[in-house]
Structure formats: structure tokens, C-alpha cells
């Protein structure tokens, strides 16, 4: 390496150092996260905020282990002063949840997947009211301290 190349490298290194450190930190943080396909339903137990695309369509979802079906989840969804029951599963990285106002009929379905690199703290997918409702995107984010 000649003097000109050394001088260029000496000027370039300090400029690249912050970017390299940030990239290294991202890789190290992601190493502790399971891949979405490796998550289990138990990893989703806790409190979530669900957003269906605008500020009026927010809900709080509480997921707990299902009392009857091991490996599945149940819980509640609170939106606009109403409480619905939910049942959910996570299989091979695919999230499915059914919402029911009366505990007997399915009022809405949620299909999505945990977001890679978020350690099971975010799920994105499609929500649909009834069988004929217009599908809408949703984002669910963990809000409790139990999140990884």
C-alpha cells in the first residue's frame, strides 16, 4: 500500500467506524432472537396492542395458554369498550387467531406471521371481519415486560 492509499484509508476508516459498529450491534442483537418459524405459542403469551390501520381501530389483546388445548392460546381482545374472546395458534411461523364477541361464533379472523428480527414482539398480517368482510392489514406489538 503506497502513501496515497494509506492516507485515503486513514481518512475513510473513521467515517466507516460508526456504520460498522451499528451493523455489528444489529447482528449481535438478532443472534439472541429465534427465527419466526422457531417460535412457539408460549412465546406469544402476554399483552399486545393491535392496530388495524388507523387510530380508531386499536385493540388490546391478552394471550394466555389455552386451558384445554396444550400448545394453543386463548384470551381477550378489548376494543372500543367491548371485550371479545380469542383463540390463537402459532404453527411453523404462521399465526392464526379467531375473535368472537359471544364465545360461540367467529366474528373475525387474524392471519399473519411474527416479524423476523423482532424476537416474537411483533406480528403482521391480515384481519377480516366475518367471511365477506374486506381484509385489512394489522400489526400487533408486545407491550408487556415479559417480551424478549
Q: In the chain, where are the structural domains located?
A: 1-31, 36-142
CATH architecture of the domain covering 36-142: Beta Barrel (2.40)
Q: What is the model's pLDDT at position 24?
A: 38
Element (H, E) at 141: strand 136-142
Cell of 116: 423476523
Q: Which long-range contacts (CB under 8 A, 24 or more apart) does 68-71 make?
A: 71/40, 71/41, 71/42
Q: What is the model's pLDDT at position 31?
A: 64
Q: Does residue 147 carry a pLDDT above 60?
A: no
Q: What is the pLDDT of residues 80-118, one digit of tens each?
A: 899 999 999 999 999 999 999 998 999 999 999 999 999
Q: Are 114 and 131 in contact (CB under 8 A)?
A: no
Q: What is the pLDDT of residues 4-37, one digit of tens each?
A: 565 554 554 555 444 433 443 344 344 689 999 9
Amino acid at each position: 500500500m503506497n502513501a496515497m492509499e494509506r492516507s485515503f484509508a486513514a481518512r475513510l476508516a473513521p467515517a466507516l467506524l460508526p456504520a460498522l459498529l451499528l451493523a455489528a450491534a444489529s447482528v449481535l442483537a438478532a443472534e439472541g432472537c429465534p427465527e419466526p418459524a422457531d417460535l412457539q405459542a408460549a412465546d406469544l403469551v402476554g399483552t399486545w396492542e393491535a392496530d388495524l390501520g388507523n387510530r380508531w381501530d386499536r385493540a388490546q389483546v391478552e394471550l394466555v395458554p389455552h386451558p384445554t388445548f396444550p400448545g394453543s392460546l386463548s384470551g381477550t381482545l378489548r376494543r372500543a369498550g367491548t371485550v371479545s374472546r380469542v383463540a390463537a395458534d402459532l404453527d411453523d411461523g404462521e399465526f392464526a387467531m379467531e375473535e368472537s364477541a359471544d364465545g360461540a361464533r367467529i366474528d373475525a379472523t387474524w392471519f399473519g406471521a411474527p416479524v423476523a428480527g423482532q424476537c416474537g414482539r411483533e406480528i403482521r398480517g391480515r384481519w377480516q371481519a366475518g367471511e365477506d368482510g374486506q381484509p385489512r392489514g394489522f400489526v400487533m406489538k408486545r407491550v408487556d415486560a415479559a417480551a424478549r
